[in-house]
Chain A
């Protein structure tokens, strides 16, 4: 991991690097589930020697490549932008590729399990269909009327700033699967869908705000939210999810009265 790429090292850098590769023993306690083998999930412990500055995803890779090839999980870019590897690490939703081992207390076994509220298909993989259905239901695309302009649709910096926070969503489902309302009622849109609706509702170029607000005004829409802030805490992109939901609520109330 710490292969030097530059020839000349300062003494200070050498000293740091000498201490940097200290490996520690970590136990990963992974909640494994294989419906073809057994109807119940089981916790399995894996002992690893890891650099604490490596990520949880590196540990999962190490387990899969060196210890147990049957371990199953999703990952693509491994750099926190594809949103594939959201999982529950030490009881909190995080991206495995953005979580350093040293930050999740390697002294004790680190628990890793699939995100909650969606059907677990195998090990850490869940069925994301209901999640993406909610995303589709808020119409996450530009809606306009009239002729298409021949040039790009211009927007002031202030107008862009209005919805900047919610453009950061990577659809990893960490927020939705941390929401206690969603756990109990899968019909609820969930934070991620509302965040993506917010991204268009407050976009000055978009004209579909009324349609989206109509959708979110319904039974399973924003009024289901109880501001527990689990979503804001879970978001690996630091989006203020609960604030976005509240802004949609406010838009509904001010438009309807």
Chain B
């Protein structure tokens, strides 16, 4: 939407404002377009269930994470001497059991994906330019994959005798 004003230089005679009309240059028309306004051609259709699956994942992983994270905090920070007991030996002792390996693995994956999807939503909301959005999401993806892969690797290749 552009408003042509070049030949419409008829300043209002009425005192329209008390303040702020200082420039005296009515030639510049200026309408603030909202970010990413919908047009006939946008948004492009993707026809996938990705958004629905992401939405469902957030709800389901959230419920599971409540148990996993609170249990994790309870064991690490409250029970049996509290935070001061945490040491290499303590972690090694827990990871000797496949149960705690699975617990930590599940927590890592769910928390990382849950957090990343939340960040993706924030980026979708606040990054207005397509390029900015692409870069931020790319960065986010790389960071997520890196963390998940590294964490998984550590859980499975952990050697208590190093």
- Contacts A219-B46, A220-B43 given; does A119 touch B33 at CB 8 Å: yes
Apart from A119-B1, A133-B38, A217-B52, what 8 extra A-B contacts exist at CB < 8 Å? A36-B29, A37-B11, A37-B12, A42-B20, A120-B32, A121-B1, A219-B50, A219-B51
The 8 Å CB contact of B20, one of A38, A45, A221, A224, is: A38
The interface bits of chain A over 24-60 (1 if a CB of B lies within 8 angstroms of the residue's CB, else 0) are 0000000010111111101011000000000000000
B interface residues (Cβ-Cβ under 8 A, vs A) = 1, 3, 5, 8, 11-12, 14, 16-21, 23, 26, 28-40, 42-43, 45-52, 54-56, 124-126, 128
- Contact among B26, B35, B46, B56 with A37 in the assembled complex (CB-CB below 8 Å): B26
Known: A36-B8, A218-B47. A70 touches B16 (CB 8 A): yes
Chain A residues with CB below 8 A from B126, complex form: 184
Cα A129 to Cα B48 in complex, Å, equals: 27
A218 to B45, CA, bound (A): 7
A39, A45, A185, A218: which contacts B46 (Cβ < 8 A)? A218
Contact string against B for A residues 93-122, beta-carbon threshold 8 Å, 1 for contact and 0 otherwise: 000000000000000000000000111110
Residues of B within 8 A of A19 (CB): none
User: Main SS of the interface on chain B?
Assistant: loop
Q: How far is the CA of A219 from the CA of B137 in the complex (A)?
A: 15
Cβ–Cβ < 8 Å partners of A185 in chain B: 35-36, 124-125
Chain A: interface residue count, which band?
Answer: 35 or more
Known: A36-B29, A217-B51, A253-B56. A187 touches B36 (CB 8 A): yes
Q: Tell me whether A187 and B12 are in contact (CB under 8 A).
A: no
A184 CA / B124 CA spacing, docked (Å): 9
